[in-house]
Amino acid sequence: MGVNFPLILVVGTFFTGAVWLLELFVLRPRRAELVELLSTKTGEVEGALEKAKREPLIVEYSISFFPVLAIVLVLRSFLFEPFQIPTGSMIPTLEVGDFILVNKYAYGLRLPVLGTKFLAVDEPRSGEVMVFIPPHEDEYFIKRVVGVPGDKVRYQDKTLYINNVAQAQEFVEQVPPIRPEYFVYEENLGGIGHLIQRNPHREPELMEWQVPEGHYFMMGDNRDNSSDSRVWGFVAEENIVGKAIAVWLHKDPGFKLPEISQNRWIQ
């Protein structure tokens, strides 16, 4: 993993908070005593009196940054977290360069960094788009929940079967219209309608899985160009980050300005 921002945020918040408490209960009373002592004297101690009144620089910065860091920590850990789409595995639902908002409390509140759930809210459902940490890499991934604990998942002829029931697909378009590179279908999974993309030139083998308790089976909507549970296995419940709910900004790669014209709810 790259920079561990959650860990940096937690450490920064606790450090500045500790300095603020130290200032409030230890340093400030001591300075007040020293100022009272020096105020009874004159002459050479005037400079020392002014120095004694001043807060140390680290205390001044800590008091300024602590409330900001604390607010960001609460919002990011328990409410919402921004996330950028780095790959095309969720095309056509999500494009490379989409900035999405992740609901952190949808599946329960967790301790920052540790990820331990301390308040249950709801469980992921088939068809929802979820952000998580996969078993093979310490990075955020985003895919669609295909199988929940206890489900039997089969992928045959580019159709999903959940507990031996085929999940409906309806043809939408082929792109480009002549000599198409991929087909777009609307799939209904768990009552959630969404678009998927299939490569007509790739024929996957029949694959089948049984989802164990406490785990989830994830797949990208770009079905023939996605590294997902078909490759690296199931996602453990403790590795869930949150539910992807909206695209709030988009920026194409390179020197392009961000735009809000593609803002939308995620289905």
pLDDT at 80: 85
| Predicted local distance difference test score (pLDDT) of residue 48 | 60
Going by their DSSP bridges, the two strands 152-156 and 159-162 should be labelled as antiparallel
Identify the three-state secondary structure at position 104. Answer: coil
Domains of the chain with CATH codes: 5-78 (no CATH), 85-265 (2.10.109.10)
Task: Determine the distance from the C-alpha atom of residue 16 to the mean position of all C-alpha atoms in its chain, rounded to a whole number.
Answer: 25
> Active-site residue 227, yes or no?
no
- How do the residues of the chain divide into helix, strand and coil, expressed in percent and rounded to 5? 30, 30, 40
Confidence (pLDDT) at 132: 94
126 is catalytic: no
Q: Could you give the CA distance from residue 188 to residue 166 in angstroms, rounded to a whole number?
A: 10
> With b meaning 16 or more CB within 10 Å and e meaning fewer, what string describes 81-101?
bebebeebbbbbbbebbbbbb
Catalytic annotation, pick one of 77, 89, 226, 229: 89
Kindly report whether the global pTM for this prediction surpasses the value 0.95.
Answer: no
Q: List b or e across 12-51, with b for residues whose CB sees 16 or more CB atoms inside 10 angstroms.
A: bbeebbebbeebeeeeeeebeeeeeebeeeeeeeeeeeee
Per annotation, catalytic residue among 104, 126, 143, 229: 143
Residue 1's pLDDT is 42
Divide the 267 residues of the chain into consecutive groups of 10 and give the mean pLDDT of each group: 63 83 82 72 58 75 82 77 88 93 88 77 94 92 96 95 95 90 93 93 89 97 95 95 92 81 89
